[in-house]
Amino acid sequence: MIRHLLSAGDLSRDDATLVLDTADEMARLTEGRAVKKLPTLRGRTVVNLFFEDSTRTRTSFELAAKRLSADVINFSAKGSSLSKGESLKDTALTLEAMGADGVVVRHSSSGAPYRLATSGWINACVVNAGDGTHEHPTQALLDAFTMRRHLGDLAGKRIVIVGDVLHSRVARSNVLLLATLGADVTLVAPPTLLPNGVERWPCATSYDLDDALTGADAAMMLRVQNERMNDAFFPSAREYSRRYGLDARRQALMPPEALVLHPGPMNRGMEITAEVADSARSVIVEQVTNGVYVRMAVLYLMLAGTNTTTEEAA
């Protein structure tokens, strides 16, 4: 397993499969147990270093580390020295002095986790929990884990990713990981919400959602990230929803066993209707549950060493 998890593209097929298989083991060892803790990371310290607001991801990482019996420290930009102008370097040196073993970092600037991991400021393992519009590798892993549990081997499966690809770190990570696992990925978005250079990504692109959904094994809807937009990328919310929103009519174009995913948070009525979000084919809530198992697997593989097995951890 690699020392740092900075990009989904850093994972080989064997690496990705190892993470997914280990997440399966974490689920098996903790599901249904009254006490869900494993002693695997006892004595290790994991720091959640979040320069951006987050509820879902930070809580998931915190719960994953605590279920592995690690000590967890939460740093956020608000209410800390970061809000007083402390640099990333000085923050890293502080964490190093405190003896952090793993640092989970989310930052508004693309490349910040890479800088932290390669600067020499800190010896801890670094996990990218989202950097700007660049990547979010553990989200891609939990999405793949969720799809694999329902669809089996993802090789040859048709996955459609729909929406604001331009501002989405989730889309880039999913394309890279799913391509590594052998899936056929199609991005669907208005031309204004596809990034420059997308033709070099290992996927197809389309502007026609109805056509892309026909025969798809899974559809992943992306949130329109208004907070990252400083221009008009489409005429109106109503027009966007009409062209690129997933409703019951479009869901019916997919095979009966096809899945509906969303990385959250959702804009109900915009990229997805409430009816579809709450349907039996939606695995959106399951994604949140699976995120804990996947992040347990990542932390375990990066911090526990090679001499401990998940069976011994139980």
136 is in an annotated binding site: yes
Strand positions, DSSP E, the chain: 45-50, 71-76, 102-107, 125-131, 158-162, 184-188, 204-206, 218-221, 259-261
225 is in an annotated binding site: no
169 is in an annotated binding site: yes
CA distances from 27 to 63, 78, 152, 185 (A): 13, 34, 16, 27
The answer to whether the beta carbons of residues 267 and 224 sit under 8 Å apart is: yes
56 is in an annotated binding site: yes
The answer to whether the beta carbons of residues 169 and 106 sit under 8 Å apart is: no
User: 10 Å Cβ neighbour count for 270?
Assistant: 18
Tell me the sheet residues that pair with 221. 162
264 is in an annotated binding site: yes
99 is in an annotated binding site: no
In angstroms, rounded to a whole number, what is the distance separating the alpha carbons of residues 288 and 138? 12
| Cis peptide leading into residue 263 (ω within 30°) | no
The answer to whether the beta carbons of residues 147 and 218 sit under 8 Å apart is: yes
78 is in an annotated binding site: no
Summarize the annotated binding site as residue ranges: 56-57, 84, 106, 136, 139, 169, 223, 264-265
Residues forming the annotated binding site for L-aspartate?
A: 84, 169, 223
Binding site listing for carbamoyl phosphate = 56-57, 106, 136, 139, 264-265
